[in-house]
């Protein structure tokens, strides 16, 4: 089938990826004035849902798809959803996408919103009992294998690994964390704050195996233990692999795009200058003019909505023949992490200031504000607790980043 | 147009304050200010001016816990 449902290509916008970015981009295309068909294609069977709770309180609770689903806003009520279908190829010259069932859809505008997939740990051993945390189906599979008192090995000591460990301890599981770095969440938080977080986890009974690599999984037909490079063998009823993610760009190959780290975009989220192709969310590598002109991917929840609205607006205006909004795109990144009763909140670009980390106020063992600096300027802040200081530090980041960008 | 906030879902992240500062505020403890004036788990605003729609819709989108509803 070509064309699909008889709609003229000039009247169709295709959004590939049906998560938060796809939803928000579709809404923004419509709000920009595009009146044609908008089709959103996603490989999960679910309507768009909120992912951060998956590694937090939803992980081992009873939270389901309905609890996490986003409301579909008024402007996106007439969007066509093709869920459980995967786009396997795009031809940007012919302006088509091809689905795994063989369907081809023409488009006048394309939104790239396919996000990331978890990286897997490439070591030998049985596959059963190994999990990642990215989708509703992932956590459903994990829940089936864990009961209180069970033994969980987490590979990876980043945010997801640490959040998962905290939830698992609360659920009554034995938890071991294995990671090659010497300090949890060393990147981007830095050694001092990472060490402070390690102590908090250890106080809750988490066992760390840092500076260690897993070398194989043992077990007859499913994982029963994880062997480390120093010979340590950790018993496991389940393993969670939390070792980062890779952008889902395979379907875009063959179009001459720079896919070296996500999809390269300009400041308006246009993919390599094409007004009819935009990208948003974790997969978009774009310059944030709040800091400088270097394109970067940002895996922060708030950035998905920010980029999707911008990308959708850019594309929607193109589709109705209007110029793009000339206001430079300079969103303030922020993220949060919940571990035990701790709320960790960040504003700005912590990673850009990892060489110059200073405690701004408070105490690393208690509530604290940590500043990350580049060229002497504050570019990022991480708060532990300090809820009453959110507004102060977010405003400060906006001011300081503007100063730093002016000097860059 | 009104907004409602599910105060059981809300975890006082404060993203709404940045999106719609004339509607949302955190108190000096860092808690959503509506908590102090609400009995029960759901805050419902008075009628809001239509000029605030973009701001409150942005706040609803930006809420990490998706606790804000824009009605009408």
Q: Chain A contacts of B57, Cβ < 8 Å?
A: 73
Predicted pLDDT at A67: 86
SS3 content of chain A, % helix, strand, coil (to 5): 30, 30, 40
pLDDT averaged per 10 residues in sequence order, chain B, 72 residues: 95 93 93 92 96 96 94 90
State how far the Cα of A279 lies from the Cα of A116, in Å rounded to an integer.
Answer: 13
Q: Where are the domains of chain B?
A: 2-71
Predicted pLDDT at A6: 59
Query: In 3D, which of A291, A238, A247 has the Cα closest to residue A112?
Result: A247
Q: Chain A contacts of B62, Cβ < 8 Å?
A: 302, 305
Which residue from B minimizes the CA distance to A334? B15
- Name which of A304, A344, A388 to mutate to probe chain B: the one with the most chain B Cβ atoms within 10 A of its Cβ: A388
Predicted pLDDT at A302: 94
State how far the Cα of A158 lies from the Cα of A241, in Å rounded to an integer.
Answer: 11
Q: Which CATH architecture has domain B2-71?
A: 2-Layer Sandwich (3.30)
Q: Which among B15, B26, B66 has CB closest to A302?
A: B15
Looking at chain B, list the stretches that DSSP marks H as alpha helix, in order from N- to C-terminal side. Answer: 15-19, 53-62
Whether A36 and A11 have beta carbons less than 8 Å apart is answered as yes
Which residue from B minimizes the CA distance to A72? B61
Q: Is the ipTM of this complex over 0.85?
A: yes
Which residue from B minimizes the CA distance to A346? B13
By CB atoms closer than 10 A (0-12, 13-18, 19+), residue A232 is middle
Predicted pLDDT at A199: 96
- Measure in Å the smallest separation between the Cα of B3 and chain A Cα atoms: 14
Task: Please list the pLDDT of chain A residue by residue as tens digits (408 residues).
Answer: 444 555 776 799 999 999 999 999 999 999 999 999 999 999 999 999 999 999 998 898 877 788 899 999 989 999 999 999 999 999 999 999 999 999 999 999 999 999 999 999 999 999 999 999 999 999 999 999 888 999 999 999 999 999 999 999 999 999 999 999 999 999 889 999 999 999 999 999 999 999 999 999 999 999 999 999 999 999 999 999 999 999 999 999 999 999 999 999 999 999 988 999 999 999 999 999 999 999 999 999 999 999 999 999 999 999 999 999 989 999 999 999 999 989 999 999 999 999 999 999 999 999 999 999 999 999 999 999 998 898 899 999 988 877 766 776
Whether A83 and A100 have beta carbons less than 8 Å apart is answered as no
Predicted pLDDT at A139: 94
**CA diameter of chain B:** 31
State how far the Cα of A362 lies from the Cα of A386, in Å rounded to an integer.
Answer: 9
- Domains parsed from chain A with CATH numbers: 9-117+246-319 (3.50.50.60), 130-243 (3.50.50.60), 341-407 (3.30.390.30)
Angle B44-A337-A155 from CA coordinates, rounded to 5°: 145
Relative orientation angle of helices B53-62 and A301-319, to the nearest 10 degrees: 130
Judged by CB atoms closer than 8 Å, whether chains meet at A336 and B64 is answered as yes
Q: Chain B contacts of A70, Cβ < 8 Å?
A: 66
Predicted pLDDT at A2: 46
End-to-end CA distance of chain B: 5
Which residue from A minimizes the CA distance to B25? A391
State how far the Cα of A82 lies from the Cα of A38, in Å rounded to an integer.
Answer: 11
Beta partners for A344? A337, A384
- Measure in Å the smallest separation between the Cα of A4 and chain B Cα atoms: 31
């Amino acid at each position: 089938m070509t064309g699909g449902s008889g709609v003229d290509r000039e009247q169709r916008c295709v959004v590939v990826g049906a998560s938060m970015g796809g939803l928000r981009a579709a809404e923004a295309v419509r709000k920009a004035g595009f009146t044609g068909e908008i089709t959103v294609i996603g490989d999960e069977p679910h309507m768009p849902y909120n992912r951060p709770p998956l590694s937090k309180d939803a992980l081992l609770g009873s939270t389901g798809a309905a609890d996490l689903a986003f409301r579909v806003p008024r402007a996106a009520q007439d969007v066509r959803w093709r869920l459980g279908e995967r786009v396997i190829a795009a031809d940007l010259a012919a302006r088509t996408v091809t689905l795994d069932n063989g369907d081809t859809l023409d488009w006048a505008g394309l939104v790239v919103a396919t996000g990331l997939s978890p990286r897997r740990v490439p070591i030998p051993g049985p596959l059963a009992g190994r999990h990642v945390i990215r989708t509703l189906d992932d956590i459903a599979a994990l829940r089936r294998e864990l009961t209180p008192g069970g033994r969980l090995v987490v590979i990876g000591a980043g945010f997801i690994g640490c959040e998962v460990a905290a939830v698992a301890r609360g659920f009554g599981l034995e938890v071991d964390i294995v990671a090659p770095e010497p300090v949890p969440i060393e990147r981007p938080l830095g050694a001092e704050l990472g060490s402070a977080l390690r102590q908090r986890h250890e106080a809750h009974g988490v066992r760390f195996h840092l500076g260690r690599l897993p070398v194989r999984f043992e077990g007859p037909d499913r994982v029963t233990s994880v062997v480390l490079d120093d010979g340590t063998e950790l018993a496991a009823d389940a393993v969670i692999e939390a070792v980062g993610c890779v952008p889902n760009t395979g379907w875009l190959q063959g179009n001459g795009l720079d896919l070296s780290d996500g999809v390269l975009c300009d400041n308006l989220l246009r993919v390599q200058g094409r007004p009819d192709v935009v990208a948003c969310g974790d997969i978009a590598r774009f310059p944030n003019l709040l800091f400088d002109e270097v394109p970067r991917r940002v895996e922060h929840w708030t950035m998905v909505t920010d980029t999707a609205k911008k990308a959708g607006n850019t594309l929607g205006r193109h589709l109705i023949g209007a110029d793009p909004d000339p206001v430079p795109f300079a969103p303030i990144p922020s993220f949060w992490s919940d571990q035990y009763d701790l709320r960790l909140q960040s504003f700005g670009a912590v990673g850009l200031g990892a060489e110059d980390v200073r405690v701004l106020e408070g105490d690393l063992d208690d509530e604290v504000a940590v500043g990350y600096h580049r060229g002497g300027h504050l570019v990022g802040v991480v708060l532990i607790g300090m809820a009453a200081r959110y507004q102060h530090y977010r405003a400060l980041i906006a001011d300081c980043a503007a100063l730093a960008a002016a000097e860059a | 147009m009104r907004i409602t906030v599910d105060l059981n879902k809300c975890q006082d992240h404060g993203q709404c304050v940045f999106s719609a500062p004339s509607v949302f505020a955190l108190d000096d403890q860092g808690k959503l200010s509506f908590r102090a004036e609400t009995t029960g788990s759901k805050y419902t605003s008075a009628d809001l001016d239509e000029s605030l729609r973009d701001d409150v819709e942005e706040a609803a989108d930006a809420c990490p816990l998706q606790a804000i509803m824009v009605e009408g």
